[in-house]
Amino acid sequence: MFEVNDLTKVYPGGRGIQGLNLTVQAGEVVALLGPNGAGKTTALQAMAGWVGTDRGEASWNGASVADRPELTRPYMGLMIGEPSPYLYLTGYDYLKCYHKLYPGVDDARIRQTLELVGMAKYGDLKIKKYSTGMKQRIELASVLLHRPKLLLLDEPFSGMDIEGRREISTMLRGLVADTGVSVIVSSHQVHDIEDWITHACIVYEGRHVHTAGIAQIRESFAGVEDYYLHHLAEERSGASV
């Protein structure tokens, strides 16, 4: 179980995230929704222990991500920020860099993961020749190599065409169903994730606004997008009063 309690990280000027609370069980998928600059990436960085927090913490099965990385990082797959694979390597060689970090990542697992993200045909091509969407795929492969139990994904469909978004969304949905991996994913492509998320969490101007399960959302709204726009309008209306 992954728990986020009162997670707060505020930068000078007020940017960041304040008072974020989440509980994610095995096999649950939480969509982190909000406009640009709402604090989604900061929230994911803080959950991953990449940045220090002003208060609160994230924990995996009771162990603090920030304080006990040796007990938490092996179970986490982190794809946060712009993909930055080494351009002079091939896709295969880039993934090979990780095999010393994670026990059990051998040649067979590398080839299997390339196949999983639709990059088997391009594993021997240098990354500098990849499109933006292909770089996104190889970065995703790097976080899936060690079979993590929790994925933190920041805009995983960025730079992908419609077909690519559909393929990766289907792959991730199957991964959740087959392995019970937990996922927290931020995405502007709500339609690509709506049919496989279990919860949605809205942040706005650095504040945690609302979280609801998909069943609860569908009781009151036509879909996740309507749920999101409703709460966003409420926040903006309140700010204008």
**Residue 189, pLDDT score:** 77
**Residue 54, pLDDT score:** 93
pTM of the model: 0.93
**Residue 19, pLDDT score:** 94
Fold held by 2-240: Rossmann fold (3.40.50)
Identity at 118, one-letter amino acid code:
G
Identity at 208, one-letter amino acid code:
H
Q: Report residues of the chain scoring pLDDT below 50.
A: 240-241
**Residue 103, pLDDT score:** 81
What is the C-alpha separation between 29 and 73, in angstroms, rounded? 19
**Residue 241, pLDDT score:** 37
**Residue 239, pLDDT score:** 57
Q: What is the pLDDT of residues 160-206, one digit of tens each?
A: 899 999 999 999 999 999 999 999 999 887 888 898 999 999 999 99
Tokens 């502007």 belong to 188
DSSP for 91-137, written as a single string: HHHHHHTTTTTSTT--HHHHHHHHHHTT-GGGTTSBGGGS-HHHHHH
**Residue 240, pLDDT score:** 43
Q: How many angstroms from the chain centroid is the CA of residue 223?
A: 21
Asked if 198 contacts 214 with a C-beta cutoff of 8 angstroms, the reply is yes
Asked if 97 contacts 141 with a C-beta cutoff of 8 angstroms, the reply is no
